[in-house]
């Protein structure tokens, strides 16, 4: 990184942020109706310019293939007419969600007659740093617009062309509704330095949301001096207790592991009570293996699964790994306490499931794990803004400050205390 | 800083944090009643051991005086029998506040029959880094105990002896109620390195709250890789509009500036509409000057105040400064828009007051400033947990994530999503 380019990136990113702050002044006084009109214009723009989008996305995909990009990543990068249509539909779906801005969170009249209320307001300027997934560009920008925020995006460099056209379409839509296009901007042109400067833009960025793999998130946390909301790393567990309904357990494990393997709410480690391991494990293992899953099993589990293919030895690193692939770690435990202990040691704090019909077991599990979501007799896959009734989400927060779990529109706001008196002074 | 001492500090701080995490397991399953019993024991301990506290505090105060500590800081450091009694009373006051833990924040049954609820849980292990104010040690530890959190405190080195005895008393109280004393611990013994290691204790500290001057907070924000809630820097403004009730305006300005000058919600800059400056400024200036305040005035204000003593020229740095002293910056503005512009440029985002009876002016001001609290026809001094009905507070957050404004018990919690099904899998 040479000094001149750093200087350019700094000046460039700061200018983009300053422009966003100014543009937000317009958004702050805009009506909910106007923000919905912008979203409708974005959706129209995506449909009308599908061909352009596919051409630009095609360049990225070709470059990705030539560079030997993994199949899973290429799949996340690639757009199709259907995917663009889905993207436009997700923007339209946002329109009908309630506007969190202006909600009175709490309010009261104090004994002295002072009227106090806490009113929801947008965070301000939200930064997003993510990987080569063009749909995140649209999702993040539109969630921000809906909730009255400006969005500064920095997508993975492998999606440079796709993101450029998508940001253009969004900016055009804002301008077509009389807004300032600077509300949504990209810092992709400054590459990695752009991302670094976003992390240093103290006073200009109100919240920075990294979304992606563990490495990306760690790098943002380590280097940021602006407030960060960590999202997404999901080393999720399912514990199958002796009291579980085993008829339900197999479909839940299959759903959690194989419905989509590349997502953060997929299960990565299966913990089974030793008293049911002999009966349950061979059944679930057979189905998992048929679906193409490799089991990384501890010694006890390997003994039970002797003769099964696709069963390998689990090492310490298996307990720590978010595979995001057709792999599952398996460990036999001595009961709920050992399961909780394992989860507290290795979990990333995303989602843990307990399958049990004994309420004492369920309560011990819920009280013991320390994660954003706990599923009881349900799949880990439910930790998702849409599934939990938030309508849409920016990501899944795995930290405890501000928002925990899915971040919907409300989680993109803060509040202002309005203190109204008639000449009140403090006694 | 030599390598060995860094190593010792790291190992020591990590051990303290690990012990707190283990101890929190006990707290997580404790009842609200038990936590209140601990608080009662803390209050008794403070009263019973007042003499010990005063001896230890006396050592700190003497060392402070010998080192030439400023009078204001010495006043914050010093305890007296009355102050210890007040401290014990503030702990007792906490007992009657509602327990936020376990509150169901929201909940619903999804169309598929899945039951979803968001339940308040403690943050976990809260770190506090603050200056030489022994009362913060007690306040922070007791707010954390009440809300089910462990507290790791690092106070200013000038209060070393005071904090040691106070932490001892709190730990003894926890143990006397059958709890683990490790719930509350200090890392003061490792000095600055202890503070640094607290900022690096990723995975061990759930939230770190710096409380103190701008330099302290900046240092924590720059060096932390654990989530931080910034508190306290209060460069607060009052704007007096032409439509203001000037009879109310003078007492409000006097209250905001002179009731207590060393606090974060004191006013630091007075902005006055030019149309009323000739009449209002001399009146308020006379009272301020009589109270010992020095006015740092812009050119227009200096012309109006010609012949007044204690009026000096304001420079750019005056607009940026949180004086925390008998000083006030004064600027004449061309109306609400220029006032808002000034505030957006220089404010630390704490509290701004507008004194006006024209609702359009009030609305423009409220929509335009971007601070944690806005006072309308009231003193800035009301931004305080007690004054706003929260009962007690850990500090005033000036950032937008998690909590904004006073941080009460609820702001020391997060939530867990509980997702309960009957074998539900995701379609």
DSSP β-ladder status, B104-109 and B115-122: antiparallel
Mean pLDDT, residues B228-248 taken together: 95
- With a CB cutoff of 8 Å and minimum separation 6, the contacts of A236 are A256, A264, A265, A266, A267, A268, A269, A347, A350, A351, A352, A353, A380
Q: In angstroms, rounded to a whole number, what is the distance separating the alpha carbons of residues A211 and A311?
A: 32
Phi and psi based region of residue B292 (left: phi greater than 0; alpha: psi -120 to 50; beta: remaining) = left
Contact A110 B376 (CB under 8 A): no
Mean pLDDT, residues A393-397 taken together: 92
Mean pLDDT, residues B419-425 taken together: 95
Contact A376 B247 (CB under 8 A): no
Taking the CA atoms of B292, B294, B297 and B301 in sequence, report the sign of the dihedral they define: positive
Q: In angstroms, rounded to a whole number, what is the distance separating the alpha carbons of residues A215 and A230?
A: 12
A98 burial level (CB within 10 Å; 0-12, 13-18, 19+)? exposed
Mean pLDDT, residues A379-395 taken together: 92
Number of separate helices (H) and strands (E) present in chain B: 15, 16
Q: Which chain B residue has its CA at the smallest distance from A355's CA? A: B423
A7 burial level (CB within 10 Å; 0-12, 13-18, 19+)? exposed
- Which residue from B153, B160, B169 is spatially nearest to B49, judged by alpha carbons? B169
ipTM for this model: 0.92
**If you count residue pairs, one on A and one on B, with CB atoms under 8 Å apart, how many are there?**
208
Model confidence at B16, pLDDT cuts 50, 70, 90, reads very high
**Predicted local confidence at residue A207, as pLDDT:** 95
Contact A124 B388 (CB under 8 A): no
Q: In angstroms, rounded to a whole number, what is the distance separating the alpha carbons of residues B371 and B350?
A: 5
Q: In angstroms, rounded to a whole number, what is the distance separating the alpha carbons of residues B20 and B30?
A: 15
Q: Are A283 and A305 in contact (CB under 8 A)?
A: no
Residue B356 DSSP class? -
In tens, the pLDDT along A271-305 reads 999 999 999 999 999 999 999 999 999 999 999 99
In tens, the pLDDT along B25-44 reads 888 778 999 999 999 999 99
First to last CA, chain A: 57
CA dihedral A105→B101→B118→A266, nearest 10 degrees, is: 130
Q: Are A115 and A109 in contact (CB under 8 A)?
A: yes
**In A, residues 160-219, which contact B (CB 8 Å cutoff)?**
202, 206-207
Interface test with A, best of B204, B378, B384, B410 (most A CBs within 10 A): B378
> In B, which residues are within 8 Å of A417 by CB distance?
372-374, 383, 388, 404-406
A122 touches chain B (CB under 8 A): no
Residue A402 DSSP class? S
**Predicted local confidence at residue B2, as pLDDT:** 56
Residue keyed to tokens 């480690």: A269
Q: Which chain B residue has its CA at the smallest distance from A345's CA? A: B203
pLDDT at A110 exceeding the cut of 90: yes
Model confidence at A2, pLDDT cuts 50, 70, 90, reads low
Nearest Cβ partner of B225 from A222, A375, A420?
A: A222
**Predicted local confidence at residue A81, as pLDDT:** 97
> What are the φ/ψ torsions at residue A120 (nearest 5 degrees)?
-70, 130
In tens, the pLDDT along B88-141 reads 999 999 999 999 999 999 999 999 999 999 999 999 999 999 998 999 999 999
Nearest Cβ partner of B252 from A418, A420, A423?
A: A423
In tens, the pLDDT along B331-361 reads 999 999 999 999 999 999 999 999 999 999 9
Q: Rounded to an integer, what is the distance from CA A96 to the centroid of its chain? A: 21
Could you tell me the CA-to-CA distances from B174 to B14, B19, B23, B155, B168 in Å, in that order?
A: 21, 14, 11, 20, 10
**Predicted local confidence at residue A7, as pLDDT:** 74
- With a CB cutoff of 8 Å and minimum separation 6, the contacts of A131 are A73, A76, A155, A156, A211, A212, A213, A216
Contact B399 A227 (CB under 8 A): yes
Model confidence at B12, pLDDT cuts 50, 70, 90, reads very high
- Which residue from A224, A216, A230, A160 is spatially nearest to A198, judged by alpha carbons? A224
A221 touches chain B (CB under 8 A): yes
Q: Are B314 and B201 in contact (CB under 8 A)?
A: no
Q: How many residues does chain A have?
A: 427
Mean pLDDT, residues B235-245 taken together: 98
Q: In angstroms, rounded to a whole number, what is the distance separating the alpha carbons of residues A174 and A162?
A: 19
**In B, residues 293-352, which contact A (CB 8 Å cutoff)?**
none
Residue A417 DSSP class? E
> In B, which residues are within 8 Å of A110 by CB distance?
387-389
In tens, the pLDDT along A137-170 reads 999 999 999 999 999 999 999 999 999 999 999 9
B377 touches chain A (CB under 8 A): yes
> In B, which residues are within 8 Å of A206 by CB distance?
399-401
Interface test with B, best of A208, A217, A340, A382 (most B CBs within 10 A): A382
> In B, which residues are within 8 Å of A406 by CB distance?
417
B22 touches chain A (CB under 8 A): no
Contact B404 A415 (CB under 8 A): yes
Q: Work out the minimum CA distance from B4 to partner chain A, whole angstroms.
A: 24
- Which residue from B146, B143, B147 is spatially nearest to B135, judged by alpha carbons? B143
Reduced to 3 states (helix: H, G, I; strand: E, B; else coil), residue B176 is: helix
Reduced to 3 states (helix: H, G, I; strand: E, B; else coil), residue B128 is: strand
Model confidence at B3, pLDDT cuts 50, 70, 90, reads low
Could you tell me the CA-to-CA distances from B83 to B53, B80, B302 in Å, in that order?
A: 11, 5, 42
In tens, the pLDDT along B391-418 reads 889 999 999 999 999 999 999 999 999 9
- Which residue from A393, A386, A413, A384 is spatially nearest to A142, judged by alpha carbons? A393
**Predicted local confidence at residue A3, as pLDDT:** 64
Q: Work out the minimum CA distance from B413 to partner chain A, whole angstroms.
A: 8
A241 touches chain B (CB under 8 A): no
A418 touches chain B (CB under 8 A): yes
- With a CB cutoff of 8 Å and minimum separation 6, the contacts of B56 are B161, B162, B164, B165
- DSSP string of B20-49, one letter each residue: HHHHHHHHHTS-HHHHHHHHHHHHHHHHHT
Q: How many residues does chain B have?
A: 427
Q: Work out the minimum CA distance from A200 to partner chain B, whole angstroms.
A: 9
Q: In angstroms, rounded to a whole number, what is the distance separating the alpha carbons of residues B289 and B296?
A: 11
Reduced to 3 states (helix: H, G, I; strand: E, B; else coil), residue A177 is: coil
> How does the average pLDDT of chain B come out, rounded?
94
B8 burial level (CB within 10 Å; 0-12, 13-18, 19+)? middle
**Predicted local confidence at residue B1, as pLDDT:** 45
Radius of gyration of chain B (CA): 24
Task: Identify the residue with better confidence: A80 or B7.
Answer: A80
B255 burial level (CB within 10 Å; 0-12, 13-18, 19+)? buried
Q: In angstroms, rounded to a whole number, what is the distance separating the alpha carbons of residues B105 and A168?
A: 39
> How does the average pLDDT of chain A come out, rounded?
94
Residue B80 CB neighbour total at 10 angstroms: 11
> In A, which residues are within 8 Å of B251 by CB distance?
423, 425
Long-range Cβ contact pairs of B217-220 (< 8 A, separation 24 or more) = B220/B129
Q: Which chain A residue has its CA at the smallest distance from B117's CA? A: A388
CA dihedral B317→B320→B325→B331, nearest 10 degrees, is: 80
Reduced to 3 states (helix: H, G, I; strand: E, B; else coil), residue A141 is: helix
Contact A374 B251 (CB under 8 A): no
Q: Work out the minimum CA distance from B290 to partner chain A, whole angstroms.
A: 19
Q: Are A410 and A101 in contact (CB under 8 A)?
A: no
Contact B417 A404 (CB under 8 A): yes
Radius of gyration of chain A (CA): 24
Among the residue ranges A260-264, B4-8, B208-212, B381-385, the one predicted with the least confidence is B4-8
Structure tokens at B150: 């462990």
Interface test with B, best of A126, A243, A425, A427 (most B CBs within 10 A): A425
**Predicted local confidence at residue A1, as pLDDT:** 45
Contact B373 A416 (CB under 8 A): yes
> In B, which residues are within 8 Å of A256 by CB distance?
425
Among the residue ranges A190-194, A383-387, B70-74, B379-383, the one predicted with the least confidence is B70-74
């Amino acid at each position: 990184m040479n000094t001149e380019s750093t200087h350019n990136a700094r000046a460039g990113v700061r200018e983009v942020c300053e422009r966003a702050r100014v543009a937000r002044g317009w958004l702050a006084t805009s009506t909910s109706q106007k923000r919905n009109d912008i979203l409708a214009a974005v959706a129209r723009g995506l449909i009308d310019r599908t061909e352009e989008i596919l051409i630009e996305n095609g360049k990225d995909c070709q470059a990705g293939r030539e560079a030997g990009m993994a199949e899973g990543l290429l799949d996340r990068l690639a757009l199709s007419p259907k995917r663009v249509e889905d993207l436009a539909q997700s923007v339209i779906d946002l329109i009908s969600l309630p506007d969190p801005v202006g909600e009175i969170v709490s309010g009261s009249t104090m004994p002295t007659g002072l009227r106090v209320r806490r009113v929801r307001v947008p965070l301000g300027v939200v930064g997003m740093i993510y990987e080569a997934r063009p749909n995140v560009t649209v999702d993040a920008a539109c969630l921000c617009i809906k909730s009255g925020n400006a969005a500064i995006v920095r997508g993975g460099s492998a999606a440079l062309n796709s993101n450029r056209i998508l940001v253009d379409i969004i900016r055009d839509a804002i301008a077509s509704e009389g807004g300032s296009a600077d509300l949504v901007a990209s810092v992709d042109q400054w590459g990695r330095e752009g991302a670094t400067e976003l992390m240093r833009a103290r006073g200009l960025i109100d919240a920075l949301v990294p979304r992606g793999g563990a490495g990306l998130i760690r790098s943002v946390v380590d280097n940021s001096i602006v407030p960060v909301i960590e999202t997404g790393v999901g080393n999720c567990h399912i514990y199958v207790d002796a009291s579980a309904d085993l008829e339900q357990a197999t479909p839940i494990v299959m759903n959690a592991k194989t419905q989509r393997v590349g997502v953060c709410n997929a299960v990565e480690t299966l913990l089974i009570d030793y008293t049911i391991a002999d009966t349950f494990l061979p059944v679930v293992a057979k189905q998992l293996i048929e679906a193409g899953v490799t089991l990384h099993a501890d010694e006890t589990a390997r003994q039970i699964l002797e003769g099964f293919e696709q069963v390998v030895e689990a090492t310490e690193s298996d307990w720590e790994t978010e595979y995001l692939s057709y792999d599952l770690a398996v460990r036999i435990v001595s009961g709920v306490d050992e399961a909780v202990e394992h989860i507290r040691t290795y979990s990333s704090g995303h989602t843990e499931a307990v399958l049990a019909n004994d309420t004492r077991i369920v309560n011990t599990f819920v009280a013991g794990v320390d994660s954003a979501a706990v599923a009881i007799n349900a799949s880990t896959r439910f930790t998702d803004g849409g599934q939990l009734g938030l309508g849409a989400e920016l990501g899944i927060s795995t930290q405890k400050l501000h928002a925990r779990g899915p971040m919907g529109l409300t989680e993109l706001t803060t509040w202002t205390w309005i203190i109204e008196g008639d000449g009140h002074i403090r006694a």
